[in-house]
Amino acid sequence: MNQGIWKYADRLGEVPPEDCRITLGEGSTPLVRSRHIGPALGLSNLYFKLESCNPSGSYKDRFATAAVSHLLARGVRQVIATSSGNAGAALAAACAVARLPLTLAIVETAPDDKLRQMLAYGARLARIRGFGLIPETSAATFSLLRQIASRPGSALEVSAYSVSPDGMRGVETISLELAEAMGDSLDHVFIPSGGGGLCLAVARGFSTISPAPAIHCVQPEGNATIAGPLREGRDHGQIADPCTTTISGLQVPSLLDANATIAACRASGGNGHLVTDAHIYHLQSRLAREEGIFCEPAGAVALAGALQAVETGEVSAASTIICLVTGSGFKDSKSLAIMADASQVPLIESEEFEKLVS
């Protein structure tokens, strides 16, 4: 029986009673060696951790099952949450299992595919104009949600330690799986970042493991809230005003776990890396065509940072490098349409098919 993240219950601090623990079968995701992109650049030890293979299609299932299990133990009857897509889908799935009603405030630019997934699980949701783009609007939205969630029987869930530390402990299981798979041969882990929670969770997951790898925070240039200050030697995040990246899931202009993430990455020996949206989309396509990895744009961000770091000589090509692939390509059909235009598929007679075969 798949225990999900609860396989590591003895390493997750205070956990809910067994009768309150839910699982979707999350975790135990594949770790695969690069077959083409890495070797072409002299990287013989480049690996991808396929968090896109989690039940709802992203690493956020680790967060959601931990968070909702803790809510059940506390007797919560209603869940309020924010999301740009993946956290909302994961929470909606977990709340469906737990029979808890979920209401979501969604960033304005969230892809329709992610909204449909949340609705399919039975969540109630609405986009908030300016949320995820304008810092003041984002701050006002968070303030309102905290006020609503303070009502008896309600709780606010956001995939950040600053709001939901119980849920984020579930994300730390990524590190435990990597340590089991790689032993002490792991040098660098590259991680996409919006509010910083994923980077911080991986760093904390390795905190009791020696030797621990360097944890690198990778962000789009249009949302340089953490990677920029980390790279410049500063201790505090900076608000993105406005947030201009088009990469869904990483449009987080507010700071959330920014300062703690900077400290954790720096202590691990990692750095911040800023990459362009164009490079991210290019690598999303390369991952599909060269590695058979079908990810959303955010899932290609870690690879963009890793390749950039190797190209500049910041990271040795001989290192063992893990890139987290955080979400499935099925979650963002808009970016998929750019990568692969289905309208170009011809309709032909059967006898003409042989002409297509090279």
Per residue in 311-324, pLDDT tens? Answer: 999 999 999 999 99
Look up residue 66 and give its two tokens: 């931990």
Can you tell me the mean pLDDT for 237-247? 90
332 band by pLDDT with thresholds 50, 70 and 90? confident
Cβ neighbors of 6 (< 8 A, separation 6 or more) are 15, 21, 23
Residues 6 or more apart whose Cβ sits within 8 Å of residue 340: none
CATH code, domain carrying 240? 3.40.50.1100
- Are residues 181 and 157 located together in one domain of the fold? no
- 75 and 134 in a single domain? The answer is yes
**pTM listed for this prediction:** 0.94
Largest CA distance in the chain: 68
The answer to whether residues 130 and 216 belong to one domain is no
The pLDDT value recorded for residue 346 is 87
How many CB atoms lie under 10 A from the CB of residue 344? 6
Q: Which of 34-48, 51-65, 69-83, 235-249 has the lowest mean pLDDT?
A: 235-249
Residue 297 has pLDDT above 90, yes or no: yes
User: How many structural domains comprise the chain?
Assistant: 2
3-state secondary structure of 20: helix
**pLDDT tens digit string along 147-201?**
999 999 999 999 999 999 999 999 999 999 999 999 989 999 999 999 999 999 9
Please indicate, yes or no, whether residues 232 and 205 belong to a single structural domain of this protein. Answer: yes
- 119 and 48 in one domain? no
List of E strands, 146-275: 154-157, 188-192, 214-220, 272-275
CA 31, CA 49: separation in Å to the nearest integer? 5
Q: How far is CA 276 from CA 219, 242, 246, in A?
A: 9, 16, 10
In the predicted structure, residue 277 carries a pLDDT above the cut 70: yes
How confident is the model over 190-221, as pLDDT tens digits? 999 999 999 999 999 999 899 999 999 999 99
Query: Is 145 within 8 Å of 152 (Cβ atoms)?
Result: no
Separation between Cα atoms, residue 300 and residue 277, nearest integer Å:
10
Mean pLDDT, range 66-71, rounded to an integer? 98
Alpha carbon 307 to chain centroid, angstroms: 19
pLDDT at 219: 98
Residue 345 lies in a domain: no
How confident is residue 132, by pLDDT bands cut at 50, 70 and 90?
A: confident
The band of 1, judged by pLDDT with boundaries at 50, 70 and 90, is low
Burial class (CB in 10 A: 0-12, 13-18, 19+), 80: buried
- pLDDT at residue 115 is higher than 80: yes
**Structure token pair of residue 277:** 């949206």
Residue 239 · residue 294 · CB < 8 Å: no
| Tokens linked to 21 | 């623990």
